[in-house]
Amino acid sequence: MRLADKVALVTGGGVGIGAAVARLFAREGASVVITGRRKEMLEQVVTEIERAGGRALAVAGSVADEGHARSAVGQAVRAFGKLDVLVNNAGIGAFGKALHETDDATWDEQLAVNLTGVFRMTRAALPELIRAGGGSIINVSSIAALVGIPSIAAYSATKGALNALTRCLAVEYAEHKIRCNAICPGLVDTPMAAPLMADPARLAEVLSVYPMARAGTPEEVAKLVLYLASDDAAWMTGSIIPIDGGMTAQ
């Protein structure tokens, strides 16, 4: 198993990509701590993992809360003894408004969750990763950080900053044997994308720029996260990796 004896913390682990990552990590031998704002969704994922013979713990809360970040890391270490992997997956979208239509509250919320939340979770986790003798941080960014997409300026700005943060972390913590990489998914069939997936006309328009002509699945994205978390990626750090059905290859 590729993550045997590892302990991983996955934010936004109750649904979508985060839940898929948690399930896959557990199957590959990791003890998994998942966080998110909806306790019932987290507990459902934990139950699924435990029924399959894995080990998991749910810690409800928001990455925008500094106290929650510290608590989640602390509970992971108390429950499983250490921390080896952090997956910063929690994020929210703000779609459909031009920049001049975007209010301060929307802008601030995007920053608080998608960027400051990553900063706080990573800051809390780094001492434990150093104590463990190294580890892996995987940030879930977006193709919106790589190409211009109309009507999602606030979201795109947070993801562009996340890519920059990823590179800085990779350089700064390499001496501690901590790797940091980011993945940039395109359209993935998750609850965040549900309104688009339910609108055939809009979906067809979006997929017209995807060479593979379909959305990705959370499970497909989770396999890339697993690779980056595992020792198979031991010489990878600071990488920004699209996983998008060829959308950004054009």
- Residue 94: pLDDT band (50, 70, 90) is confident
Is residue 60 in some structural domain?
Answer: yes
Q: How far apart are CA 195 and CA 176, in angstroms?
A: 43
CATH of the domain at 224: 3.40.50.720
Is residue 82 in some structural domain?
Answer: yes
Domain residue limits at 107 = 7-235
* pLDDT over 90 (residue 36): yes
User: Which tens digits make up the pLDDT trace of 75-91?
Assistant: 999 999 999 999 999 99
Is residue 13 in some structural domain?
Answer: yes
User: Which tens digits make up the pLDDT trace of 114-131?
Assistant: 999 999 999 999 999 999
Section 120-146 average pLDDT: 98
- pLDDT above 70 covers what percent of the chain? 100
User: Which tens digits make up the pLDDT trace of 41-71?
Assistant: 999 999 999 999 999 999 999 999 999 999 9
Q: How far apart are CA 38 and CA 215, in angstroms?
A: 25
- Residue 96: pLDDT band (50, 70, 90) is confident
User: Which tens digits make up the pLDDT trace of 161-175?
Assistant: 999 999 999 999 999
Is residue 249 in some structural domain?
Answer: no
Instruction: Point out the catalytic residue in the list 155, 173, 210, 227.
Output: 155
Q: How far apart are CA 113 and CA 132, in angstroms?
A: 27
AA letter at 194: A
Is residue 78 in some structural domain?
Answer: yes
pLDDT for res 97: 87
Report long-range pairs for 231-238 (Cβ below 8 Å, ≥24 apart). 231/2, 232/2, 233/136, 233/179, 233/181, 234/179, 236/179, 236/181, 237/170, 237/174, 237/179, 237/180, 237/181, 238/166, 238/167, 238/170, 238/171, 238/180, 238/181
Is residue 178 in some structural domain?
Answer: yes
- pLDDT above 90 covers what percent of the chain? 98
- Counting the structural domains of the chain, the total is 1
Is residue 1 in some structural domain?
Answer: no
Is residue 250 in some structural domain?
Answer: no
155 is catalytic: yes
